[in-house]
A and B are shown apart, each in its own frame.
Chain A
Amino acid sequence: ETGVTQSPTHLIKTRGQQVTLRCSSQSGHNTVSWYQQALGQGPQFIFQYYREEENGRGNFPPRFSGLQFPNYSSELNVNALELDDSALYLCASSLGLALAYEQYFGPGTRLTVT
């Protein structure tokens, strides 16, 4: 069984640019959540997708947007990049929304904004 994968592994962008990060869920998982983890901090919830619909959002501005595709893979898009967007971006997938379903995290994409 393939785990959660993310691409790219590392990315360097310039302030003001746009970036797209990708996540492939574990097989059979229909729920994906995205998190931002600044250096030395715990992850912060960005948003969640369930069966291609957004299902909750954290305290992030609208320039953070996402998509979930019919195969349940997902994208995180960030427009007008700012220096503070530099962080590790994690996606996590699970079988569903219920309490019993464990989340599996990918290795993350390290984004550096200069």
Chain B
Amino acid sequence: TQLLEQSPQFLSIQEGENLTVYCNSSSVFSSLQWYRQEPGEGPVLLVTVVTGGEVKKLKRLTFQFGDARKDSSLHITAAQPGDTGLYLCAGPRGGGTSYGKLTFGQGTILTVHP
């Protein structure tokens, strides 16, 4: 079974600070995804990284896929209260390419204080 471990589990910071969330596995993934989930809602896809070493930017969010495709990171620059939420990494189960069957990490709860 492929497992994804996220760290830290909880992150509480002040507005304007930078932060990094990590997603690690002992298994190779064909791709990894990052989602953000707010209370009372389902996860919303932020990005998909496919190529080892790939870096993608989404405004103040920077996503990186490890060269060996076993890990990924999410970096947020100058965090804002609107960034508060549960951040989840996920990858296709069993090394498959279908995104419909995902293995999720346990999530990182981010709280950004004004």
A and B: bona fide binding partners? yes
Tally chain A residues at the interface, Cβ within 8 Å.
28
Beta-carbon contact of A99 and B103 below 8 Å: no
**Chain B residues, Cβ within 8 Å of A4:** 42
**Chain B residues, Cβ within 8 Å of A103:** 45, 99-100, 102
**Chain B residues, Cβ within 8 Å of A108:** 40-42
Beta-carbon contact of A42 and B105 below 8 Å: yes
If A41-B106, A42-B106 touch, whether A102 touches B101 (CB-CB below 8 Å) is no
Beta-carbon contact of A99 and B42 below 8 Å: no
If A99-B97, A99-B98 touch, whether A45 touches B103 (CB-CB below 8 Å) is yes
Beta-carbon contact of A99 and B31 below 8 Å: yes
Interface string of B72-102 (1 = CB under 8 A from A): 0000000000000000101001000111111
Taking a contact as CB atoms closer than 8 A, the residue among B42, B93, B100 that contacts A97 in the complex is: B100
**Chain B residues, Cβ within 8 Å of A81:** none
Taking a contact as CB atoms closer than 8 A, the residue among A43, A97, A99, A107 that contacts B102 in the complex is: A43
Beta-carbon contact of B101 and A56 below 8 Å: yes
Dominant secondary structure at the B interface: loop
Tally chain B residues at the interface, Cβ within 8 Å.
25
Which residues from 4 to 61 on chain A have a C-beta closer than 8 Å to any C-beta of chain B?
4, 31, 33, 35, 40-45, 48, 50, 55-56, 58
Q: Is A66 an interface residue (CB 8 A)?
A: no
Q: Is B8 an interface residue (CB 8 A)?
A: no
Beta-carbon contact of B107 and A92 below 8 Å: no
Kindly state the separation between the CA atoms of A101 and B98 in the bound complex, as whole angstroms. 8
Beta-carbon contact of A33 and B101 below 8 Å: yes
Chosen A-B contacts, 30 in total, with CB atoms closer than 8 Å, are A4-B42, A40-B109, A41-B106, A42-B4, A42-B104, A42-B105, A42-B106, A44-B104, A45-B102, A45-B103, A50-B100, A56-B100, A56-B101, A58-B93, A92-B100, A94-B99, A97-B98, A97-B100, A98-B97, A99-B31, A99-B98, A99-B99, A101-B99, A102-B99, A103-B102, A107-B41, A107-B42, A108-B40, A108-B41, A108-B42
